[in-house]
Amino acid sequence: MEIEERRQNRLMSEYVQYGVSLMYVAGVAEARRYLTCRGVPAAVMQRVLSTAPACRRQCAQAYRVIKPIPYAVLA
Give residue-wise pLDDT tens across range 3-28.
666 767 888 989 999 999 899 888 89
pLDDT number for residue 8: 74
DSSP 19-54: HHHHHHHH-HHHHHHHHHHTT--HHHHHHHHHS-HH
Say if pTM beats, i.e. exceeds, 0.75.
no
pLDDT number for residue 73: 47
Q: What's the rounded Cα separation, in Å, for the pair 75 and 8? A: 15
3-state secondary structure of 69: coil
Q: What's the rounded Cα separation, in Å, for the pair 2 and 36? A: 25
